[in-house]
């Protein structure tokens, strides 16, 4: 399961609304792809469709879709949002990552 912090929920609702998506019917698609300075990077986008093999979760009022392959890397991850002086954006707190890069956008196992 992937969890969504309160700060991430507020930002997701705002961004989904701005982009014409609905938190009632649409999803955040979270995935992992090759690349980044640590080997794997996170992929985050809005989606209206569920595909075969997708895992679907809902936490804190946010619907999340993860493809089967990415799910193995993301079990137990919490999506957070940081708006502080050190940068603004979504942050993945992934307990499976052995190493992350300084920007927090990539990781390795």
* pLDDT band with cut points at 50, 70 and 90 for residue 55: very high
* pLDDT band with cut points at 50, 70 and 90 for residue 4: very high
- Residues 63-105 have pLDDT tens digits of 999 999 999 889 999 999 987 666 678 888 888 776 565 545 5
CB-CB neighbours of 65 under 10 Å: 23
Q: Do 63 and 23 contact (CB within 8 A), yes or no?
A: yes
Q: Do 18 and 26 contact (CB within 8 A), yes or no?
A: no
Query: What is the model's pTM?
Result: 0.80
**DSSP of 42-86, one letter per residue?**
EEEEEES---TT-EEEEETTEEEEE-HHHHHHHTT-EEEEEEETT
* pLDDT band with cut points at 50, 70 and 90 for residue 9: very high
How far, in Å, CA of 100 to CA of 26, rounded?
30
46 to 12, 59, 85, 109: CA distances (angstroms): 9, 16, 26, 26
Record the tokens describing residue 10, joined without a space. Answer: 């507020």
């Amino acid at each position: 399961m992937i969890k969504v912090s309160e700060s991430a929920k507020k930002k997701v609702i705002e961004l989904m609304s701005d982009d014409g998506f609905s938190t009632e019917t649409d999803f955040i698609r979270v995935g992992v792809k090759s690349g980044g300075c640590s080997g794997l990077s996170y992929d985050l986008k809005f989606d209206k469709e569920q595909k075969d093999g997708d895992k679907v979760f809902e936490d804190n009022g946010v619907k999340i879709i993860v493809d089967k392959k990415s799910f193995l890397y993301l079990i137990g991850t919490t999506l957070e949002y940081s708006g502080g002086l050190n940068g603004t954006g979504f942050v993945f707190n992934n307990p499976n990552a052995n190493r992350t890069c300084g920007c927090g956008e990539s990781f390795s196992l």
